[in-house]
Structure 1
Amino acid sequence: MKTSSLLLGGIVTAFFALPAMAEDKGLLVFDWAGFDVEGLYQTYKDKYGAPPTYSFFGDDDEAYQKLASGFKADVAHPCSQMISKYRDAGLIEPWDVSKIPEFKNIDPKFLNSPIFKDDKGVWFLPTDWGAVGVAYNPDEVPAEDVATLQVFVNPKYQGRTSLPNSSDDVWSLAYLATGVSDWTHVTDEQFQKAAAWLREAHKNVRSYWADPSEMSQIMASGEVLVAWSWNDGVNYLKQDKYPVAFQRSAKEGSASFICGYVNLKGGPGDEQKAYDFMNSWLRPDAAPALLDAIGYGHSNLEGMKEIPADQLKDAGLNPVDVPVLAQVPNDPQLREKQLAEFEKIKAGY
């Protein structure tokens, strides 16, 4: 992903349409495209002579629907706001953390929810985290324009913005832009205000991007000047020497997310291999591999200590002095309401 990432974007996107890659058939990992990084599964490969088999998805809701419809895998890689949905549907079972030595080094803040960890066990292994902010072309967009999230409703950028085709991400933007930085307590009035703002933002949208490679490509082409982006898409543009900056300190704030792995019930593979995979992912040495390949932070505190502060800042993972909306689990009914409203907005209603 680091070398010629934009040229590889079409290949990465094509993975969505392909069946699982045939490697070690003893473990099927259902994952985001681009996460089949050798540095993350290195010790698994060392032990078994091959990487696990991967099957890829494009977004959290697509992944959930496929698994709920009967697709079988051994482990999956959702983000934190999906975990209650997986639990309620009976799709996952707890991890036995006695088999995961590095569990003790996971940053405790990433497990601070009874949805992730309760008296029945640990349901979610946080592995990676990132930021959501304003990616922009600094050669054409003045810094003062992106000092506020209202840049997305600024008529100056009609047809020149892009938003993620992800309900969670666009609602994090809409809530922040309308003064809400905690989506675990949202009133109907706040929801309606955010929805109205999102309808205004829709008027400026040239396209809704499906994955970071697509976002990188449309910005590199010059079609889009401003995007609500994960930090990895910005890193891909930087690696390929395109003009890009990442604004995470707009006055209204920015967002953050945590993703990790769940242990799927009835997986077709070897349970021990699932634990070997997680032990490879969670080792400290995986932290620089994750940052280099994907641009995300790692949940292992010991691993993150080895990464210089200037490298974290360049990746867009440094602390900021503005509100940060954490995309943690929120009310499932609110999330379904957000999904339905987002589909209406995209359709022009």
Structure 2
Amino acid sequence: MKKLSRLLLSTATVIGFASMASAADPELTVFDWAGFENQALIEGYVAKHGQMPTYAFFADDDEAFQKMSSGFKADVAHPCSQMVSKYRDAGLIEPWDVSRIPEYGNIAARFKDSKIFADDGGVWYIPTDYAYTAIAWNTTEVPEADVASLNVFKDPKYAGRISLPDNTDDVWALALLATGVTNWTSITDEQFAAAAAWLREVHPNVRAYWSDPSELSQLMASGEVLLAWSWNDSIALMRAENFPVGFQRTAAEGATTWFCGYVNFKDAPGSEDKAYDFINAWLEHGSAKGLLENFGYAHSNDAAMTSITAEELAAADVSPVEGTLLAQTPIDHGMREKMLEEFEMIKTGF
């Protein structure tokens, strides 16, 4: 795992990661979330080719899509589920040949149950990882009773001490849950307006909108932020440094779950064979342990997950939640664009 001390880095260091990656395998470029250049996830690829792929990084799904739409070239990328239709509609990706992916059949059916991911044209998306977004809190400064409700983000006691993700999907999942919506595939105008009003009420309390787990970890480790809407990996980073952080997935209104995976680009510059070696390495059973230990995430491959104990899942806060969950599945393009535009206005104070 990257320790927190290694991740308290400037943007210049992230650029350094990219330049280091340029010395890796030039025949496969992976466009991924910062931090996913982790050998524990693809040991089989490294064993076969003697080196890691080349990595380029993005901070959020919208940034990644815009970069690919503008002509950036990569072989595979790691979007979350709600973005796949955008890549398809833009004609940027091609189907995977699952006859070359032996573990595809072991991916849990719930991650494949969408015509966006697989249809008569083929399989467009290989789900790989999932986790949650929930309340992270400094357990020495914030009483556990305070995080029983998502409305803690509106509490004036924590003005200037909270952080929300600079991520359209996660921030709207939070606002919708907080205003009583648990299925975002059919949002009414009234529900949208209520969620937007909730975010505007919370905005004055926000110290920073975090863009990646290392930034959030730094904000909480420094004491600037006491409460955040967080992914599991920020929690894993802080716990690795013995920082006192809790992860409240059972707030009264619920939590949200999401999953991500890999798409295969058309006219990719590198080796198609290595793209399949990469995804097969990701789906190998050993990668489930690497994913849990390094990110606090669970693997989409049910067969691989049999090597993980219930106690290990619980310790990483990625065990199944008994309660309300908003699943971040694909939503209507028009609604998501509306969310994106409204969130940009909210962040600027309008």
Q: What secondary structure sits across from 1:190 in the alignment?
A: helix
What is residue 226 of structure 1 aligned with on the other side? 227
Q: Deviations over 1:188-210 (max 9, x none)?
A: 10000000000011111000001
1:15 equivalent in alignment to 2:14: yes
Give, in angstroms, the shift of residue 12 of structure 1.
Answer: 8.1
TM-score (norm 2): 0.97
Could you tell me whether the CA contact under 8 Å between 1:12 and 1:33 is conserved in 2? no
Alignment length, in residue pairs? 348
Could you tell me whether the CA contact under 8 Å between 1:153 and 1:200 is conserved in 2? yes
Could you tell me whether the CA contact under 8 Å between 1:312 and 1:318 is conserved in 2? yes
What is residue 5 of structure 1 aligned with on the other side? 4
In the TM superposition, what are the counterparts of 1:215-294 in structure 2 within 5 Å?
Answer: 215-294=216-295
Could you tell me whether the CA contact under 8 Å between 2:236 and 2:294 is conserved in 1? no
Equivalents in 2 of 1:22, 1:53: separation in Å? 7
Could you tell me whether the CA contact under 8 Å between 1:178 and 1:193 is conserved in 2? yes
Equivalents in 2 of 1:9, 1:298: separation in Å? 27
Equivalents in 2 of 1:306, 1:221: separation in Å? 36
Equivalents in 1 of 2:187, 2:15: separation in Å? 34
Give unmatched runs, 5+ long, in structure 1: none
Equivalents in 2 of 1:242, 1:286: separation in Å? 26
Equivalents in 1 of 2:10, 2:207: separation in Å? 23
Identity %: 57
Equivalents in 2 of 1:317, 1:289: separation in Å? 14
Equivalents in 1 of 2:321, 2:115: separation in Å? 27
Instruction: Return 90-99 or 305-314, whichever deviates more.
Output: 305-314
1:171 equivalent in alignment to 2:172: yes
Could you tell me whether the CA contact under 8 Å between 2:162 and 2:226 is conserved in 1? yes
RMSD over aligned Cα atoms: 1.3
What is residue 116 of structure 1 aligned with on the other side? 117
What is residue 53 of structure 2 aligned with on the other side? 52
Amino acid paired to 2:295: I
Give, in angstroms, the shift of residue 225 of structure 1.
Answer: 0.6
Amino acid paired to 2:165: P
Amino acid paired to 2:339: Q
Give unmatched runs, 5+ long, in structure 2: none
Equivalents in 2 of 1:24, 1:223: separation in Å? 40
Q: Deviations over 1:273-330 (max 9, x none)?
A: 1001111000111100111111111111111111111111111111222210111100
What is residue 75 of structure 1 aligned with on the other side? 76
Could you tell me whether the CA contact under 8 Å between 1:29 and 1:76 is conserved in 2? yes
Amino acid paired to 1:287: A
After superposition, the Cα gap between the structure-2 partners of 1:95 and 1:216, relative to the gap in structure 1 and judged at 3 Å, is same
Q: What secondary structure sits across from 1:229 in the alignment?
A: strand
What is residue 200 of structure 1 aligned with on the other side? 201
What is residue 156 of structure 2 aligned with on the other side? 155
In the TM superposition, what are the counterparts of 1:84-103 in structure 2 within 5 Å?
Answer: 84-103=85-104
Equivalents in 2 of 1:41, 1:56: separation in Å? 17
Amino acid paired to 1:297: A
Give, in angstroms, the shift of residue 46 of structure 1.
Answer: 1.3
Could you tell me whether the CA contact under 8 Å between 1:13 and 1:213 is conserved in 2? no
Equivalents in 1 of 2:236, 2:152: separation in Å? 22
Q: Deviations over 1:231-254 (max 9, x none)?
A: 110111111011100000001000
Instruction: Return 245-254 or 321-330, whichever deviates more.
Output: 321-330
Q: What secondary structure sits across from 2:134 in the alignment?
A: strand
Equivalents in 1 of 2:277, 2:52: separation in Å? 11
